[in-house]
Amino acid sequence: MVFLRVFIPLLLIAAGLVSCGPEPRRAAEPEAPPPAVSPDETDPVVARVDGTLIRRSDVEREAMAQAEGELDMPPAPGEGEFERVLEELIDQRLLALEARRRGLHRSEEARRRLALAEERILGNVLVETALADAVTEETIQRIYQEQIQLIPLGEEVRARHILVETREEADAIAQLLAEGRDFAELAVAMSQDRATRLEGGDLGYFTRGGILPAFGAVAFSTPEGEVSAPFRTEFGWHLLTVVDRRRQPPPSLEQLRPNIVRFYTFDQLEALIEGLREEAEIDRPELPITAGPGTNGNGEGGSADLPEDGDTDDAPG
């Protein structure tokens, strides 16, 4: 982190003032700079191994890498997953320190593998930096608006219903409704649907495909404000009234945000790599094809020549 310390110079002008004049205006006291935040406060040390430090961010980064996108947030200190990854990093640090004590980091094999690891880390840092600059809130909002225009949205119905066991009960309730009784009051008094009875039979908004086919067929064919004739489903006999109709609302931004970020991240990463490949000079020399196990010397699979049928003179006895 870069810490900036702000110094505010004060300039006092006294020339030209006489002793009998008004008291000069005093300069405002400079504001004290904000207290510096140490790395240990923003990224505390969670382990010390032979004088080396392991910080919380090291554990969080490793945990997210091991999760391979399955975690939305890194584990917090004290959680089981955090402690497990921390123990792994301690073991890894111990092995690395011992390898250095033995001078293994000076070997050609170690140098080559360290260089590859450095390339991988630098590439990841570049990708993280580039994507952080590209995947902004404005970009997410723009893609969201584009996507909801492409989503086919159907009709939703909000309805109330009354559920009873027999056709006779349903007919009796239909008569009460015809006489002007309130649908919601009758639902509270007579409906056997425990989930909606105390709400006056209110089912909320639903789509045709989000409810029983028989129920949906009646709900979407009943005009708004009217009551259906009694009809039967596997749960019993129903009457329903349509309270409202509306166009199905699109998914919210928060519902689509993970998919948008995932899609745009992949798109930007692909564009970054493609651009780098176009600008770079890449030479891939052809390698000679060598015969391996199960090949016939031409690099093709096959078996050794066998004597023809009947020609067994040279075959082992």
Alpha-carbon distance of 202 to 158, in angstroms, equals 8
Please, where in the chain does CATH 3.10.50.40 lie?
155-247
**Cβ-proximal residues to 220 (8 Å cutoff; 6+ apart), any chain:** 155, 157, 208
N-term to C-term CA, the chain = 80
Matching CATH number, 155-247, of 3.10.20.30, 1.20.1070.10, 3.10.50.40, 3.40.220.10: 3.10.50.40
Asked whether the beta carbons of 36 and 6 are under 8 A apart, the reply is no
Question: How many CB atoms are closer than 10 A to CB 92?
Answer: 13
Asked whether the beta carbons of 184 and 200 are under 8 A apart, the reply is yes
**Cβ-proximal residues to 155 (8 Å cutoff; 6+ apart), any chain:** 207, 208, 220, 245, 246, 247, 248
| Token pair in block for residue 144 | 């969201």
Helix axes 183-190, 167-178, angle to 10 degrees: 150
Task: Identify any residues that bridge with 232 across adjacent strands, giving them in sequence order.
Answer: 237
> Tens-digit pLDDT profile for the chain (317 aa)?
333 333 333 233 333 333 333 343 344 455 555 555 456 678 999 999 999 999 999 999 999 989 887 887 899 999 999 999 999 999 999 999 999 999 999 999 999 999 999 999 999 888 888 888 888 889 899 999 998 888 888 889 999 999 999 999 999 999 999 999 999 999 999 999 999 999 999 999 998 888 899 999 999 999 999 999 999 999 999 999 999 999 888 889 999 988 898 888 888 889 889 998 889 888 888 888 775 555 554 544 444 444 444 444 444 43
